Structure 1
Amino acid sequence: MCTVVIRVPEPGEGPVRLLAVRDEDPDRGWMPLGENWPDRPGVVGVRDRRAGGAWLAADLASHRLAVLLNRRSPEPPDGVQLISRGGIPLDAVAGIPIAPTAATAGFNLVTVDASGASVLTWDGVERGETRIPPGTHMIAHEGLDDPATARIAAWRDAFALAPTDGPDWFVPWLEVLRASAGVDPDDERAIVRDNRPLGYPTLSTLLCAASTSADGIDVRYAEFAEPGHWDAVTLR
């Protein structure tokens, strides 16, 4: 149940800004943001140690970034074994078309480049793709700006009002995250989350902030000292 906040400017009016909070089982190891794929020079991201894929990846040369979020989907058909989705962000930043199958669990894939951003959705049955319009948006485990997703209903306006200018553009958004931690981490409105009471072994473990334009891409990373609980993180 990860969360992405994204601000897409009007054409020619600045970089795309993105803040992504990852929810994962803390016992499932990962490699922090870095050049974690020797066979993919110039690609940085957060690598899953178990399957080798990415949660978030960025190609520094093409200025393209992709981040994958779980999406609700039905159980796979009988006899179908689910495969890892970790290759999807890596393919996306390489410009390889994404073609999920019945063996792929549902996902939302947010892709950003110098021209803007899009979200590719797969619910286990149907594939869809939408260009994200200018403005400030949120996405989690359902559709873009889904009003029935409590954290989006609670916090999207606050993110929209927060300025994102200058080299420390992400600081006002971190302030919104801090404010959102005023609700319990198992509250449906929480962004920094503890999903165990909902039946999932996942907690918010880390976050990344990225700024993408024709001039380049800058990606920063921080981990929460205690999964599922806000602390004053420093993005590096």
Structure 2
Amino acid sequence: MCTVIVHVPEDSTAAIRVLAVRDEDPARAWDPLGAWWPELPGVVGVRDTRAGGAWLAADPAGSRLAVVLNRADLIDDSLATGSRGQIVLDAAAGQGLPEVPPTHGFNLLTVTPGRARVAMWDGDAVRAVDLAPGVHMIAHDDVDDPKTARIATWHDAFAAPSGEDWVAEWVAALERTTALPPTDDRAIIRDNRPHGYPTLSLLVCAASVSAAGADVIYGELDEPGAWNSLQLR
């Protein structure tokens, strides 16, 4: 039940900005932002230690970024033989999606210069949408879905960045959302256990993508599901 905020500027040559909050089971080990894939030289990301894929990955020199969010589906476990983390690595390396992904459902955000695209897989078909200029939020349903409580509550809290210190602006907005307890369905920094999932918010990444490259920074919460002042680097 991750959350991603995206700003697509009117000027297609300007950088697209992304703030991504990862929710996962704290018992499932991960590796922080780094170059973990020797078969993909130049690709950096947050690696899932168990499966070897990525939650978020980028090719800085190639100006590509990808991040995946789980999405509800009706796919039988026996049919979901692939890893959503591999889908992220493929996207960061510039490869497209298969027509029928061999994974459980997902929302996959891929960012390249001037373009932010979300592919949505629910087990029936892959749908894709290019994000129009403006600020967008993605969680476990459709983009900007008003049925998603945190999107309905906080979408307008993340204004288009007004200056170069956009990370500080959005982290401050994220901190303001923590006035809600993490078990509240409207929360972005979350404890999803009361909702039937063993996941809590663990970390935050911010990224900027333009023709000049993809820049990603990273910070972990001191305690899963509990806010603390973050220094992303």
TM-score band (shorter)?
Answer: over 0.9
Within-5 A mapping of 1:19-30: 19-30=19-30
C-alpha offsets along residues 115-166 of structure 1, whole Å, 9 cap, x if unaligned? 2200000011111111010000001000000001011111110102x53421
Give the Cα–Cα distance (whole angstroms) in 2 for the partners of residues 67 and 102 of structure 1: 16
2:79 partner SS: coil
Instruction: Normalising by structure 2, report the TM-score.
Output: 0.96
Asked whether the 8 Å contact 1:63–1:113 carries over to 2, the reply is yes
Worse overlay, 12-21 or 36-45:
12-21
Runs of 4+ in 1 over 3 A off after TM superposition: 100-103
Q: What's 1:73 paired with?
A: 73
Do residues 208 (structure 1) and 220 (structure 2) align? no
Contact kept, 8 Å, 2:43 with 2:93, in 1: the verdict is no
State the AA in 1 paired with 2:222: A
Q: In the TM superposition, what is the alpha-carbon distance from 1:185 to its structure 2 partner?
A: 0.3
Q: Mean Cα displacement is larger for which, 207-216 or 79-88? A: 79-88
Cα distance 1:171–1:52, how it changes in 2: closer, same or farther (>3 A)? same
CA distance in 2: counterparts of 1:169 and 1:223, whole angstroms: 19
What TM-score do the two structures reach when normalised by structure 1? 0.95
Superposed, 1:183-198 pairs within 5 Å as 183-198=180-195
TM-fit CA distance, 1:176: 1.1
Give percent identity, aligned residues only.
56
1:177 corresponds in structure 2 to: 174
Instruction: Report if aligned partners of 1:15, 1:211 keep a CA contact under 8 Å in 2.
Output: yes
Structure 1 residue 101: Cα displacement: 3.4
Tell me which residue corresponds to 2:122. Answer: 123
Task: Output the CA distance in 1 between the equivalents of 2:86 and 2:130.
Answer: 22
Deviation at 1:193, TM superposition (A): 0.3
* Preserved contact between residue 194 and residue 228 of structure 1 (Cα < 8 Å): yes
Q: CA 1:62 to 1:13, structure 2 compared with 1: closer, same or farther past 3 Å? A: closer
The equivalent residue for 1:233 is 230
Question: In structure 2, do the counterparts of structure 1 residues 184 and 216 end up closer, same or farther at CA, with 3 Å as the change threshold?
Answer: same
Aligned partner of 1:147 in structure 2 is 146
Consecutive unaligned residues in structure 1, runs of 5 or more: none
What is the distance in 2 between the residues matched to 1:137 and 1:71?
17
Cα separation, 2, equivalents of 1:81 and 1:206: 26
What is aligned with 1:157?
156
Equivalents in 2 of 1:217, 1:81: separation in Å? Answer: 31
The CA deviation at 1:58 is 0.1
| Alignment deviations for residues 70-117 of structure 1 (CA, whole Å, 9 cap, x no partner) | 00111417x535432110011011121111637410000000011220
Give the counterpart letter for 1:55 in structure 2.
Answer: W
The match for 2:216 among 197, 214, 219 is 219
Q: What is the letter of the counterpart of residue 42 of structure 2?
A: G
What amino acid sits opposite 2:50 in the alignment? R
Which amino acid is the alignment partner of residue 93 of structure 1? A
User: Pairwise CA RMSD of aligned residues?
Assistant: 1.4
Q: CA–CA distance in 1 between the matches of 2:183 and 2:60?
A: 36
Distance 1:40 1:70 in 2: 24
Number of residue-to-residue matches in the alignment:
233
